[in-house]
Chain A
Amino acid sequence: MKQKVFSRRSFIKGSTAAGAALGVSGSIFNFMFTGLKPVEAAEETGKKVFQNACPRNCYDTCSILSTVENGVLTKVEGNPKNSFTRGRLCAKGNSYTRSVYSPDRIKYPMRQKGRGTGNWERISWDEAYTEIAENILRIKKEYGSTLPICLNKYSGNFDILHYGIEGMMSSIGNTSRATGTPCWPAGIDSQTFDMGTIYNNDPEDLVNSKYLILWGVNPAWTSVHSMYIIQEAQRRGCKIVAIDPILTQTAVKADLYIQVKTSTDGALALGMARYIVDNELYDRQWLENNSLGYKEFIEYLRDNITLEWAADKTGISKELIETLAREYATAKPANIWIGYGMQRHTNGGQNVRAIDALAALTGNIGKSGGGAQYAQLETWGFNYHAMTQDKPAGSGGSGDRAININNFPAEVLAASDPPIKMLWIACRNPISQDPEASVSRKAFEAMGLVVTADLFMNQTVEMSDIVLPVTTLFESPGVNVSYWHYWLALNEQAINPMYEAKNDVQIAMELSKKLNELEPNSSTYPTSGDQLDWVGKEFNSNIYDQFGLSDWQELKNGPVKAKKGLIAWEDGKFRTPSGKYEFWSEEAGKFGHFPLPAYLEELKPTKEYPLRCISPHWKLNIHSQFQNLDWMEAINSKPFIELHPDTAKSYGINDKDSVKMYNDLGYIIVPAKITTSVPPEIVVVYEAWYKDKNFNVNFTVKAIPSDMGRKATGMPGLAFHDNFVNITKV
């Protein structure tokens, strides 16, 4: 039989892959290797251990040791050198080998023919860069600037090199940026008004507390390593009090659980403060030396707050408020950990200020075992070299344009002069995690080009034109710190990037190269550079000093902990305008708030929507990450709605019944889980993205801003937990 040569066509657009040998096919007379090769030298084998760090939006930012055998990641474990991680990861962290080697990972750059059609074609990186670069240059020409290009990037990966994505945007000119943060801004502003910034004690110091209030925080699920420390404190005699509308796993382990009516935490704190004042349990000396406006605050309490009022507001008896206040004020040192959930309300910022005030009144701030813990950014003093790029000369516009991340789709649609035409999405799944999911879809539909860089297919990728495969934390280097503990860890590249995945900085470099090829000087981003060198460029003498390092390479031996600043405000130098703890904050006044920690009425349910839906974090995910992995699916593969038995009864709902939860914005249908862990007036649906399920609690969540956030983060936060709904059995 004759060997006839046929020409071939590639499924891969723009393919120039070496050895693809388009046109002819190899024959038995002339075999050509393409994907294989004769072994030349022995490939590197053996076992190696690498330093990694979990970059997720999680308190714990664990130090990881990764075992690599023959170039394959075989094991991840907590690094025992980090006394916070203590050699353990959580269920999510332990699943890392599964995300790296999941068959479902996005492997190649791909282009969708028709957004949302699921008709994808594989393209080469070059093809992807060309299309993106041409689009950027076309926009610039048409609108006279790159402002129609909008970046939406946030917390999917907090490694410092990932700020190179923002750098990429700066390198092409002025652009539109999703600004603000969805999850914690109200609390940040509160502490900024009170103390000048967010700054918590080293969480390992929690063991020194004699009394610890866990206020609206569920570390048993969301900060498992802190939970160990809390239980250690408990073993040493510290009384643990949990205040939460939901009987969480943390509350179950506390010595005292107080079920507060949602969003009335400020009333509880002010009631306690009133009791403390009336009984002279406050630390006058500390207040005299360290604070501003405490007398005005006391006056406010005397004029406006009664324990009866607080009891009525919060649903907690007057006696219990008194006991709590007395115990808290007399135990020394006493500590409060303020969670992020409790500030996701229209009065969340004021509520946090009221709680801070308790810590200040009792003189607990600046002390080991004391304080009002929220978060810290003290260890984040990097150079942000990857992020800081010059804008090219004459690229148009007079500055970046802020688009509120918490009302992103509506603002994208409303943007004019120039309108927004292109979205770049990285480290985020906004269609799943943002409120008003239907508006999100509309905004995406209005775009000329949507580019998403991600690891897995999700709702946002579904609505994109081009998807770029990115590396996991094990496939590119970086450096990580926590917004909670005080450890600094290097993230080493442990394995080769699988398939055609690239790190975001590499993507920025290569896109810059393409842009400059097509139009010289259109991007300032460096077009080459060693990623590890770039990690080195993030360090400076302050960080070296803070962590007792002489060179960042020392981190290859393991993570290090800050050597100083572990007790917040120990020196009494607050970063407020007055340099004192400010009960009375002119700065708060400037942002339209009452200058004192005063009570702001909470939002109440309506007749049509009589139930409040809270959408807290779920134990097996972080926002849209992790729940899609098979291990997590094996434990729980379905979303559900938690209902109190009385609520269920009044709606004629039995356990596992299908329930429609709805409001004027949208609905979800999920099975009922009847439990006394939630109070009758609220329902709980954990926020998560489930693979292959049309479930999204944000179908019902409106973009209602929380009271604070504008000062520190540029935009107010989101009142995720002021979501009022109705339910019906279906």
Chain B
Amino acid sequence: MQQFAEILSGGISQSAVYCLMAFGLSLVYGTARILNFAHGSLYTTGAYVAWVLTVGGLNLPMLAAMPLLVVILYLFGMVIEKTVVRPLRSTKDWKINTMMVTLGLAFILDNANSMIFGPIGKPMPPFFEGTVTIFGAVVSSHRIGVLIIALLIVIGLELFLQRTPFGQAVRAVSQDSEGAAQVGINANRIYSFTFGLSVVLTGIAGMLLAPLFLISPLGGWELFLKAFVIVVLGGLGSTRGAVVAAFILGLIESVVIFQLGASWTMPVWLVTLLIVLMIRPQGLMGVWAK
């Protein structure tokens, strides 16, 4: 039972990181209708950048590295959106075209990462040392720290979307982009912003999980696939759905790991997804059925 409590608490903090990844993926789909296949490679890239800023080179303390990481990833995301994605928006089959171009970008990032950092995984020390005991379960402080950071970010994002005029504009574009144009919202600005934000979120997820797994060039793919399942379960484009789905699937994952082993996670997730989609084709909180 104690072992299960430990796995469960690990699952909760893992879920919080899935939230960050899935939030960004869903937000970009919701506003710009772009399915970003480079999301996992950007996760890995974020982890490498965090590694360079800290133990891998610059030796900055965590508190200095975080804001720098955010700025670098945000600018990187904006540049990708402006140079790679946006020019395709005016083409006829832009949905499939942008999907393919982000897939190409993923391979470029993967190769660049493995050229620069080599194929061998990079270790990252935990940001918080030691362990905490909660209800008899021994949990690493790092996991608790990850949970708190990720939750604070998600709460902050939700407040931003609900309470600020710019956040309202982001929601407006995702609900009706033509209506948004009619009130004077520049959708292109929103597209760059959400893309930049999603790269920040996935990169932070990469940084937070780096001490738990080694950073390796292809390590982001598994997380991308998981984030994809989460986003579809939550309802494509719904950020709240993504948050709820991340916790549901994260908890299912910890049960599966305890009972069957980690390799069963994806099969069980997909069966869950299938059942939910048969009842609600638009996902848990999705509005449209596509």
A in complex with B:
no
